Amino acid sequence: MALASPQIKAVCVEANEFPQLSNQFRVRGVPHTVINRRASFVGALPEHDFVNAVLEGAGVAVDEPHEAVSGPTSDISA
């Protein structure tokens, strides 16, 4: 999505190389996707479900809610 829009920024971090970030974002499995430092989900999702999870995590209304394999989007605020 970051390649398709200049309004989206994506960063990939190696959890083992940055343990402080892993702890900050409570990484317990990979892939661990964080949206706007507010919401997150764990697991590889089909493209449609991934897009819906990201939109939902960003607070954008989604017609069809996603059902993540590893659970719903969670609040990660500290």
pLDDT score of 28: 92
Sign of the torsion formed by the C-alpha atoms of 76, 22, 44 and 4 = positive
pLDDT score of 1: 80
- pTM confidence score: 0.68
pLDDT tens, the chain, 78 aa long: 878 888 888 899 999 999 999 999 999 999 999 999 889 999 999 999 999 999 998 888 887 655 555 555 556 655
Could you tell me which residues come within 8 angstroms of residue 44 by beta carbon, excluding any fewer than 6 positions away? 31, 69
